[in-house]
Amino acid sequence: MYDIKALYEAQSVGEAVSLRLEHPDAHIIAGGSDVLIKMREGKLAGCELISIYGIDALRGVALEDDGTIRIGSLTSFSHITKSPIIQEHINVLGEAVDQVGGPQIRNIGTIGGNTCNGVTSADSASTLLAWDAIVELTGKEGVRRLPIRDFYIKAGVVDLHPDEIQTAILIPKEAYAGYQGHYIKYAMRNAMDIATTGCSVNVKLSADKKTMEDVRIAYGVAGPVPMRCPTAEALAKGKAVSAEVVEAFGQAVLEDINPRDSWRASKAFRQHIAVELAKRALQKSIELAGGAL
Amino acid sequence: MAQYKLIHWNLNGKDVETMVDVRASLTDVLRNDYRMTSVKKGCEVGECGACNVIIDGECFNSCIYLAVWADGKHVRTLESLLGPNGELSDIQQAFVDEAAIQCGFCTPGFIMTAVEILESGKLYSDEELRKLLSGHLCRCTGYQNILRAVKKTMYRRLGKELPAE
Amino acid sequence: MVVGKSVTRVDAYDKATGRAKYTDDLCDKSALVARIKHSEIAHGFVKSVDTAAAEAIPGVVKVFTCFDVPNVPFPTAGHPWSTDPHHQDVADRLLLNRHVRYYGDDVCVVVAENEVAAAQAERAIRVEYEELPFVLDVQEAMKPDAPQIQENFPGNILGHTSVRKGDYEKAIQEPGLIKVEGWYDTPTVQHCHIENHVCYAQMEAGRVIVTSSTQIPHIVRRVVGQALGIPWGKVRVIKPYIGGGFGNKQDALYEPLCAWLSYMLGGRLVKIDCSREETFVSNRVRHAIRSHIISWVRPDGTFAARKLECFSNQGAYASHGHGVNAKGMNAFPQLYPCDNVECDSYTVYTNRPSAGAMRGYGIPQAMFAGEAHIDDVCKAIGADPIDFRRSHVMPQGYVDGFSKNENYYDTFNQVMDKGLILSDFRRKQKEYANQTGPVRRGVGMALFWYNTAVWPISLESSSCRMVLNQDGSIQMQTGETEIGQGCDTAFAQMAAEALGIPVEDVHPVSTQDTDVTPFGTGAYASRQTYIGGFAIKQTATLLKERILRYAKELTRQDVSLLDIRDGKIVRTSDGRELMTLGELATEALYSLEHSEHLTAESTYQIKNNAYSFGCSFAEVEVDIPLCKVKLLNLVNVHDCGTLINPQLAEAQVHGGMSMAIGYGLSEELKFDAKTGKPLNNNLLDYKLSTFMDHPDLTVGFVENAEPTSPYGTKALGEPPACSGAPAIRNAILNATGVAVDRAPVTPHILFDRFTEAGLL
């Protein structure tokens, strides 16, 4: 039995927006795998909740006319992994979210929840960041879209207005067409774990597969929020595919990332792992894109 | 103060209506209102899998699933697997035969995940099965005989011969 | 012969259907819910408690504080009671504590009508503390200026025992010796049975009835009586099915507090249901033990002298105390006999959660240190780890002077032979000899020694009752408890064997109820199959005598010519079946001539004991840049005597191996150095190995019948957890050349060690 002061259930986005305005102190609950745990810990105990779990319109993956991949915010991790659209165009996202917790968590956990809680360790976040995803937010004024890197403000805080709910994650065609990517989750065990560090890399190779026309990399748990590595990206972009560039790329991430010392892992350890993951994820991405070192 | 909601749902093949306290987890309702002792509490945060049930064909940890969300859903617990004369289903029998049960506390949750795996009708490798079953913790079995039980049943249902270990 | 067959568990059907009833399943929903307010400092005194806000919350029945409880210290260890005051467990517990000694100690308790109110009230209680310095490290706690944790133990040393053999100081003067020295640390880990500890209490007819998830109902009865200061006969303890125990529930946990709450509330039904977080911190943990070993080795590999110091982190309360560390220490001079040995073991109070019994009882710690050290010795002198062990391990015929235990067979060589084959060790050892790449493989092994049961340290006795039913089946009751390991099934097989009836006709009563169950001390020390076997055989013999005596009346045949075979009364001279046991039993019960309820009950006390042996072989792949170990294979080989039920024995070994995997690679309960607060007391942050972290587990047995046991059996419950972790550690050494000095060998540790070794 949870210490819920009141529960308001929304069946539509409009209803959710109205409930947000009516109950400014209420927290949004999507799948509950984060909110209910905080509530049990006492952190959110006695709160009012707005449940958006019942808004089925926010479930599913679709390809829009302009080629944008639209992932409804309540789509569960397991449904993202199983989606043929995801598998065809951005398989790495399906692979990344297939490493969240365990199977039951992947059935309840939503991509909206995973991004809105503003957690740096979220397995979906680094890949969404690395693929220039757009966050769609719906409020009383209508729809607002912003790049996911602007959505994250600081640890646990995202740019969600008091009248809004997140309604979709969008991946524009130019962000995925021609790219191949790989995500490596580094954790202390192979299931039911949170990332010590997560690294998502993708690459777009030239037609002859010799040159990296574009390289993007993002991390979870390398800073307070998921982050990109502009220095490393600039270093590799336009370069010929080579082991030296991969090595230099890996070392360059240290210019960008800022992991902290915590009881879960030391800063030095996280930095070391981050470099190794960057190299391995880039190498794998190059291979997936048809290149060779 | 207390807030209740009448939910209409299907529990183990039977349409039911239940007045639930909105604060209740599905574990609370299954254990307290329906005395379904197969639904166990081991952590209450979705880490151990002891409370696992199938909702509309997919497995969920019922401890972190609000009971009100079951409105309109089909929920299956381990109790649904038994035949009319108390016959064990094939997967339950496999757990018995392979000595995959020790203290028995994780067993119902594991079996329900196995049901979802088996109902997919797919053939999985050992590595895939380990991943599909990884949402459950067990401290007694080292998972070895649980893997054997699921694998054996999977092969039998698919009419294929079980490869030698 | 049903002993030795893989019969299906007697409880399998009920557990496969979810019908088996565990404590919480049996508790009436009207129960009041108790919730404990735990200390939020590591050490200090409670100055005051403000309960006003908590008591004002609707649904709260009562708040009790550390100022309300009786000042009656009691012991909690699940040991048989000793009538000799010098051998009694340390009584250092109160129901709630003003002197709080660890972060998580019990300060207050709320009793409410529902769990939400209880949780709200617990959060609303305000406790004011006088904080004191605290100490978490075992050797820091031994320093003269360390914080003092228990008033009756100045210096914090709860126990110190020694072994002295030969003359160590003189022996090390021998010229040409190679000194191999190492420090080995083992972690604080928790049992993590999937059912948390839960109990409920109510009063009936002036007595308190406690139903609990415990391994030791008869001991809990005594402890509740002691804690409440009431006659032990006023306490009744019921133990239903339990969802694992592994030693945590071999302690009186919250049963005394729960009983007291019911007592204080007019006998109302009160439940204490531990959360997972509480189970980690406020139940029991495994002792973290730091061992310092010095071996003086001759160039031919023989030991001239050896020394061990082991420091056991007891935490805040005595619980099982020094017995755990002492058991580990005593394995040291026995496993590799040496003429000159000095051992000192210290068990020291610290401001950590209390350490108690956990599967292996000091032996996993001792084997990690001892067997890691043997590989370090091998590395130092260039010896092969297998050959070295064959030459120096406890030989056949070895007799321990204290316990009089004997190694009757060439067991160690036999288990190693089998393990070598099952793991393909020699081939892999060659293949992995000269690797240089970033990803390397290695193989390693470790032996273990484990002493069955607790004689001669404590009482070893077991009682059994058998009652013949009208149909020729029997109910069997013992005080020994089913905790998942399968003892009900093994006992049924033994009883069927001894009586000559089909195993289906033995109905073990799984629930222990101290009002009706014969006395037995319960599940610990891997004792039950061994000691239970004596009591079952003796009781069956008594029952059989009574049955055959009655058969004589019905058949007019002499008892010496009668036997029971497959549930029938048989004339042995010609094998003729004279009647079924069911016919006899029905007649015996309803006879108008001579009605008799045929039953038997007896106690068997043993004053001997048995060694149990085995080994583990591990194969690992180490990704050096990622500081990650992948366990590829793990093989355990055991000599636990004759197997009663081979399939259940194998299953039990799997579970122990699993625990050893976590011990070796991932599990550790961590504490904040600044506050003493536990950091990872949940199943997400405490890294129990998951399905995906396990390789296929391989099990072998060497069945040397134990001569002292009526069924040729000896310990198997705990032994599988004893040698896996050092085997993994030694495999990592084989793969990388890096000798890690602690368990678990996590990526964090490997990052440091690989950096030091220049591998990164």
How many angstroms separate the CA atoms of A110 and C269, rounded?
A: 41
pLDDT above 90 covers a percentage of chain C that reads: 98
Q: Do A260 and A281 reside in the same domain of the chain?
A: yes
| H/E stretch holding A124 | helix A123-130
How many angstroms separate the CA atoms of C261 and C257, rounded?
A: 6
pLDDT digit string, tens, across residues C337-381: 999 999 999 999 999 999 999 999 999 999 999 999 999 999 999
Q: Please provide the distance, in angstroms rounded to a whole number, between the alpha carbons at the two ends of chain B.
A: 59
Q: Which of A42, A190, A272 faces C751 most closely, judged by CB atoms? A: A272
**Which residue in C613, C462, C452 sits closest to C531, CA to CA?**
C462
Q: What is the CATH number of domain B90-157?
A: 1.10.150.120
pLDDT digit string, tens, across residues A239-274: 999 999 999 999 999 999 999 999 999 999 999 999
Strands C341-349 and A165-171: unpaired
How many angstroms separate the CA atoms of C714 and C741, rounded?
A: 32
Q: Which of A137, A155, A174 is the last residue of a domain?
A: A174
pLDDT digit string, tens, across residues A204-232: 999 999 999 999 999 999 999 999 999 99
Q: What is the pLDDT of residue B165?
A: 77
pLDDT digit string, tens, across residues C139-198: 999 999 999 999 999 999 999 999 999 999 999 999 999 999 999 999 999 999 999 999
DSSP designation for C306: E
CB-CB under 8 Å, C684 with B47: yes
Q: What is the pLDDT of residue C402?
A: 84
- CB contacts under 8 A, B 138-157 vs C, are 138-147
Chain C residues in contact with A195 by the CB 8 A cut-off are none
Pinpoint the residues of chain C covered by CATH 3.30.365.10. Answer: 288-455+608-756, 461-605
Token look-up 């109070």 returns C349
Q: Which residue of B has its CA nearest to A189?
A: B134
Q: Do A254 and A184 reside in the same domain of the chain?
A: yes
How many angstroms separate the CA atoms of C33 and C115, rounded?
A: 6
Tokens representing C178 are 């190679």
- CB contacts under 8 A, C 600-629 vs A, are 625-627
Any A CB within 8 A of C399 CB: no
The three-class DSSP label of residue A202 is strand
CB-CB under 8 Å, C192 with B139: yes
CB-CB under 8 Å, A53 with B69: yes
- Domain range for A40: 4-51
User: Residue B9's beta-bridge partner residues?
Assistant: B16
The three-class DSSP label of residue C454 is coil
Chain C residues in contact with B138 by the CB 8 A cut-off are 194, 658
CA C428 to chain centre: 34
Compute CA distances C325 → C88, C90, C331, C404, C659, whole Å.
Answer: 17, 15, 10, 21, 19
pLDDT digit string, tens, across residues B68-105: 999 999 999 999 999 999 999 999 999 999 999 999 99
C26-33 average pLDDT score: 97
Q: Which residue of A has its CA nearest to C752?
A: A269
**Which residue in A115, A119, A110 sits closest to A131, CA to CA?**
A115
How many angstroms separate the CA atoms of C567 and A232, rounded?
A: 80
Strands A165-171 and A69-72: antiparallel
CB-CB under 8 Å, A190 with C119: no
Any A CB within 8 A of C658 CB: no
Pinpoint the residues of chain C covered by CATH 3.90.1170.50. Answer: 13-132+197-273
- CB contacts under 8 A, B 54-73 vs C, are none
pLDDT digit string, tens, across residues B95-144: 999 999 999 999 999 999 999 999 999 999 999 999 999 999 999 999 99
CB-CB under 8 Å, B37 with C691: no
How many angstroms separate the CA atoms of C664 and C446, rounded?
A: 12
pLDDT digit string, tens, across residues C211-240: 999 999 999 999 999 999 999 999 999 999
Peptide bond into C456 cis (omega under 30): yes
pLDDT digit string, tens, across residues C112-128: 999 999 999 999 999 99
Neighbour subunits, B (≥3 Cβ pairs < 8 A) = A, C
Compute CA distances C746 → C532, C634, C738, C749, whole Å.
Answer: 40, 18, 13, 5
Split at pLDDT 50, 70, 90, the class of C688 is very high
How many angstroms separate the CA atoms of C310 and C343, rounded?
A: 8
Q: Which residue of A has its CA nearest to B54?
A: A104
CB C618 within 8 A of CB C422: no
How many angstroms separate the CA atoms of C550 and C545, rounded?
A: 9
Q: Do A188 and A168 reside in the same domain of the chain?
A: no
Q: What is the pTM of this model?
A: 0.98
Q: Do A162 and A97 reside in the same domain of the chain?
A: yes
C315-325 average pLDDT score: 97
- CB contacts under 8 A, C 670-689 vs B, are 682-684, 688
- CB contacts under 8 A, B 104-133 vs A, are 113, 131-133
Q: Which residue of B has its CA nearest to C194?
A: B42
Please name the CATH architecture into which domain C461-605 falls.
2-Layer Sandwich (3.30)
Write the DSSP string, C547-572. HHHHHHHHH---GGGEEEETTEEEET
Q: What is the CATH number of domain C288-455+608-756?
A: 3.30.365.10
A185-192 average pLDDT score: 97
CB C147 within 8 A of CB C137: no
CB C493 within 8 A of CB C538: no
pLDDT digit string, tens, across residues C593-620: 999 999 999 999 999 899 999 999 999 9
Any C CB within 8 A of A42 CB: yes
Q: Do A81 and A102 reside in the same domain of the chain?
A: yes
Compute CA distances C477 → B110, B126, C218, whole Å.
Answer: 31, 41, 13
Chain A residues in contact with C672 by the CB 8 A cut-off are 263
How many angstroms separate the CA atoms of A31 and A120, rounded?
A: 19
pLDDT exceeds cutoff 80 at B1 = no
CB-CB under 8 Å, B139 with C655: yes
Q: Which of B58, B68, B134 faces A191 most closely, judged by CB atoms? A: B134
How many angstroms separate the CA atoms of C697 and C679, rounded?
A: 31
Chain A residues in contact with B3 by the CB 8 A cut-off are 6-7
Sign of CA dihedral A270, B134, A61, A165: negative
Any B CB within 8 A of C413 CB: no
Q: Do A107 and A185 reside in the same domain of the chain?
A: no
CB-CB under 8 Å, A54 with B25: no
Please name the CATH architecture into which domain C13-132+197-273 falls.
Alpha-Beta Complex (3.90)
- CB contacts under 8 A, A 93-112 vs C, are 102
Peptide bond into C744 cis (omega under 30): yes
pLDDT digit string, tens, across residues A22-66: 999 999 999 999 999 999 999 999 999 999 999 999 999 999 999
**Which residue in C749, C739, C744, C734 sits closest to C665, CA to CA?**
C744
Q: Tell me how many domains chain A contains.
A: 3
pLDDT above 70 covers a percentage of chain C that reads: 100
**At A136, which amino acid appears?**
E
CB A187 within 8 A of CB A193: yes
Going along C39-172, which residue ranges are E strands? 44-50, 60-65, 99-100, 106-112, 126-131, 157-165
CB-CB under 8 Å, B60 with A107: yes
Any B CB within 8 A of C11 CB: yes
CB C120 within 8 A of CB C33: no
Q: Which residue of B has its CA nearest to C196?
A: B42
CB A177 within 8 A of CB A171: no
CB-CB under 8 Å, A193 with C115: no
pLDDT digit string, tens, across residues C63-86: 999 999 999 999 999 999 999 999
| Residues ≥6 apart with Cβ < 8 Å to C284 | C190, C191, C247, C248, C251, C253, C319, C353, C354, C355, C356, C357, C358
CB A262 within 8 A of CB A207: no
Alpha helix (H) residue ranges in C438-566? 487-499, 528-555
pLDDT exceeds cutoff 80 at C87 = yes
The whole-chain average pLDDT of chain C stands at 97
How many angstroms separate the CA atoms of C742 and C729, rounded?
A: 9
Q: Sort C642 into a burial class: Cβ within 10 Å, 0-12 / 13-18 / 19+.
A: middle
Q: Do A197 and A226 reside in the same domain of the chain?
A: yes
C276-291 average pLDDT score: 98
Give the CATH number, domain containing residue A136.
Answer: 3.30.465.10
pLDDT digit string, tens, across residues A86-144: 999 999 999 999 999 999 999 999 999 999 999 999 999 999 999 999 999 999 999 99
Q: What are the two backbone dihedrals, phi and then psi, of residue C319, each rounded to the nearest 5 degrees?
A: 40, -125
**Which residue in C140, C185, C100, C323 sits closest to C668, CA to CA?**
C185
| H/E stretch holding C201 | strand C198-204
CB-CB under 8 Å, A192 with C684: yes
- Domain coordinates of chain B in residue numbers? 4-78, 90-157
Q: Which of C11, C243, C654 faces B142 most closely, judged by CB atoms? A: C654
Compute CA distances C463 → C494, C536, C606, whole Å.
Answer: 14, 8, 12
- CB contacts under 8 A, C 474-533 vs A, are none
**Which residue in C343, C341, C380 sits closest to C170, CA to CA?**
C341
Sign of CA dihedral C473, C476, C482, C487: negative
Q: Do A250 and A187 reside in the same domain of the chain?
A: yes
Q: Do A149 and A131 reside in the same domain of the chain?
A: yes
Q: Which residue of B has its CA nearest to C657?
A: B142
CB C361 within 8 A of CB C371: no
Specify if A293 maps to a domain: no
Any A CB within 8 A of C292 CB: no
C658-671 average pLDDT score: 98
Q: What is the pLDDT of residue C401?
A: 85
User: Residue C310's beta-bridge partner residues?
Assistant: C291, C345
**Which residue in C33, C65, C27 sits closest to C49, CA to CA?**
C65
CB-CB under 8 Å, C691 with B134: yes
CATH T-level topology, domain B4-78: Ubiquitin-like (UB roll) (3.10.20)
Radius of gyration of chain C (CA): 27
